[in-house]
A and B are shown apart, each in its own frame.
Chain A
Amino acid sequence: MSKLASHIANIGRRGRVCAAFLTGIAVLPLQSAVAETKSYVVSWFYMATYSQDGDCPDGLNDSIEQHFRKVLAQLGKSQPEIEALVKAIPGSMYVTYGDRGRIDGRPVSPYLYPTSVPDPQIKILKGKVGYGFDLDGKEGPDDFTDPETGEHGVDNQVYRVMGCFVPQRAFPPDRPGFPAAEWDMPRDAMPAWLVEVTGDDLSKDGDVTIGVYRATAPVQRSTDGAPIPDMTFRVSGDRRSYNVVKGHLKNGVVISDTFTFNMLGDVFYQPEFHLADSRLRLTLKSDGTARGVIGGYENWRNLYSAYAAGGVFNEAVVSLDVPGIYYALKRMADAYPDPKTGENTAISTAYTIEALPAFIVHDEKTAAATSAAQNLSR
């Protein structure tokens, strides 16, 4: 078991013990002991991007047709065959992509067996500005400077891996097309994600407690397709999606202490999120909304699995190169080395969070889980 996986599993065990210990004890909800709480439902969650001209000096990654031509050439197709298959896009792509890997000469899925195709050496983002946090306390050559905070040493290797694919590029407040669509598609069925900030007086600087939970029900949409604000959500008692962490509010911006972020997603998106050494930054806006970034280390194989699950669609429609992402994630992983192999098991990343005002209701069951989680965060 990798160090990261072991770390997360240990948290799970400790959580169960605390929750069991607290069963039967009257526990008040988080917000009852403090003066003020602001509650939100996450409206968008996607890879944090800050795309600028020149940040991909080697060029952007291939378009769908360019990529397809390269794949066909690698498969030994003749030029006339390539032209005929390109003409037959997209049908021809589904036939070609799905089994283009080769193991012992036999065709295999390049998504299940990404090393069955040669490393295509996808283009890597080389800009110096990117969202996130200095997770390792060091400033290295690959690190970014955060555009909002000016923090140096920001670790966000996922942005370097993905930042030169066209559908992954956007300059805020625009959202990158594919990551936003990935969030948008499942959210009618995926229970909503909630954020709760509690402090003595949220109009002033001071210590706060931040909760990030999963609700029992999905968001409902307005006529413009966005989630309806001011809806009421019940917090799920499932500790796999229960995060409570201390933080500090300064000038309307909340920054959390370091914590492990755990959250269930959706099987058609990314089933689970686990960010180690995570930090959350959230600007609480006067219009009641919030926007921020959560960063941390993510198991790169889990991340790859989400892209691999999209398989042919991600290549033929979105224009990603899935095996290429595998190789790049592995190459650029930057934390939690496996004690045996020395290979890094985790990669730094950052996601943008956009949130709308909501009402959050804790019941007795979730209150117990809250306390358990609070114990863990101490």
Chain B
Amino acid sequence: MAKTLALVTVVSLAACILGSSQAAETTGLAPQRLVGMRRITQDQYRQIIADVFGKTIKLGGRFEPDQRDAGLLAVGASQVSVTASGFEQYDDMARSIAAQVVDEQHRPVMIPCAPASAQRPDDACAGKFLSSVGRVLYRRPLTQRELADEVKIASDVSSRLHDFYAGLGSALTGMLESAQFLFRQETARPAAADAAHLQLDGYSKASRLSFLLWNSAPDLPLLEAAEHGELDSSDGLARQADRMLASPRLEAGVRAFFSDMLGFSTFEGLAKDPVLYPKFSARIAADAQEQTLRTIVDLLLHQHGDYRDLFTTRTTFLTPLLGALYKIPVTTPDDLPDAWVRYEYPENAEQAGIISEASFVALHSQPGRSSPTVRGKALREVLLCQKVPDPPGNVNFALVQDTNNPDFKTARQRLTAHRSAPTCAGCHKIMDPIGLALENFDTTGAFRAMENGAPIDPSGEIDGIKFSDAKGLGKAIHDNPATTGCVVNRLFTYATGRTATKEEIGSMQRDFGQAFAKSGYDMKALLRSIATSNEFYRVAKPEIRADIPAASQLAQEGERR
């Protein structure tokens, strides 16, 4: 069974590649090449289904895990395919969604026509529905052959089951589990004045733009702009980008980017020792992520604030559960006991900025103890884009992990002893001094002044800048030039789904970085400058390797089997 499904997946993937070349043939444009495929993420899947069919459609089943590469799921999405078991899950979800879309409750709203008879095929009505839905799901119009195939499936099933809607559901199921839907396929043609690169076609540009700004498929105006070639002109592109930047849906895009950049998907596997930390629960973990995302959205989108202020802001958002974790009173209306409330830390509070929130300190900790080293590594890698080498394989962590050692009561004391080994000292020197600044927050994010009865010393130093506590660290991150350079790099990498080349890193820092600084580190301005740039839509010519058979050949072989 698994083998059969795997084969189906390969054939399906290959078929989509064939489909793309056929699309080019049908539209009569210059030959295009498939230059990229990215599996849509779990969030994107959910968002697209909600956008196309509404929020009343429920998603059953589980998604295949997304893969993180170069620190981002967006990059990992270019590296993954669909496993046999994953395909089964997509199949389950597709069947469930399609059944809901054509059921008696939804069909009057979802299906733009009524069949001549509900017991017989109606190719005209089926074609109308499948072409309009397919355009959004595939992020481009269906080719004539694709549409004819889908209508035939609908017709065959309707005939056999004497149920027009069952046939329509079957065709929709097939579309929802097709590679054309599950993978963002990008096609390109040679750029006019650049022999080394290809230029994405309009629909691929529309997808890049939409997934960057809204984390979803293009809407109808954007698809129409692509169809009319508007996205090939700077003005047309800017018009669409500005429209989308002004939309409330931008929040979904910003949330998706920062969730990815801050590694929130790893919360799924995060656990804390329930004996030591009974307050920490899955609900608190979910609230912790939401706290930071609300802080980000509020500062960057609603207040049009400076990106760097994320590390010093005293404004945050809390639920009663988070209030219990942080020991802060949180009052909500009686009828909304789990509501979010805006909260301003007092000036003398120990917390400030998103690095003092549970979404950072709890995520980058061990289950039973905090970890200045893990936190320091995360600060370097996630926020400053500085790679910290992995530890050697023969490190003895016994002393660091022994939190009950009476001679080394605090993490600082344990790490100081651990660093005495020369093989460890090099890397710990760049991680520990910044991670120790967050030691006032235990592994769940709760504040503590003491560890094992000894006072915690949260002072430290980063790149020559000394500070006395977590707030000082936040200020140092705020002022560090690598902080803004990092978010520029991350956003471009996230947007393109690949790590930037050395050339691109230089030009992106020069072009986007300067514009970002000039805007006062306004996130919207950075998004706009990337979304309207040529670099965003430019792709390197793929290397043709003679030893790898063409996708079309693979597909044909699959069909023969």
Contacts and interface: CB of A to CB of B under 8 A. Distances in A.
Contact of B334 (A217, A226, A359): A217
A216 interface: yes
Given A223-B279, A230-B325, A232-B324, 4 more contacts: A217-B334, A226-B278, A231-B320, A359-B323
Given A216-B334, A217-B334, A223 B278 contact: yes
A242 to B, nearest CB: 16
A174 interface: no
Nearest to A288: B327
A223 B281 contact: yes
Interface string B318-358: 00110111010111001001000000000000000000000
Interface residues of B, number: 17
B441 interface: no
Given A222-B278, A223-B280, A228 B334 contact: no
A361 interface: yes
16 contacts: A216-B334, A217-B334, A220-B321, A222-B274, A222-B281, A223-B274, A223-B280, A229-B279, A230-B279, A230-B323, A231-B324, A232-B320, A232-B329, A359-B330, A361-B329, A361-B331
Contacts of A224: 274-275, 278
A151 to B, nearest CB: 35
A234 interface: yes
Contacts, number: 47
B325, B327, B329, B331: most-surrounded residue (chain A CB, <10 A): B329
A194 to B, nearest CB: 13
Interface string A209-220: 000000011001
Given A228-B321, A228-B324, A229-B324, A234 B331 contact: yes
Interface of A is mostly: loop
Nearest to B318: A232
Contacts of B324: 220, 228-232
Interface string B253-294: 000000000000000000000110011110000000000000
Contacts of B337: 217
Interface in A340-361: 359, 361
Contacts of B330: 232, 359
Given A224-B275, A361-B329, A232 B323 contact: yes
Contacts of B274: 222-224
A361 B330 CA distance: 9
Contacts of A217: 334, 337
A220 B324 CA distance: 10
A274 B278 CA distance: 34
B350 to A, nearest CB: 16
B547 to A, nearest CB: 54
A232 B279 CA distance: 14
A363 to B, nearest CB: 9
B331 A232 contact: yes
A361 B337 CA distance: 14
A230 B325 CA distance: 7
Nearest to A217: B337
Nearest to B446: A230
A228 B323 CA distance: 11
Contact of A234 (B281, B323, B334): B334
A220 B279 CA distance: 10
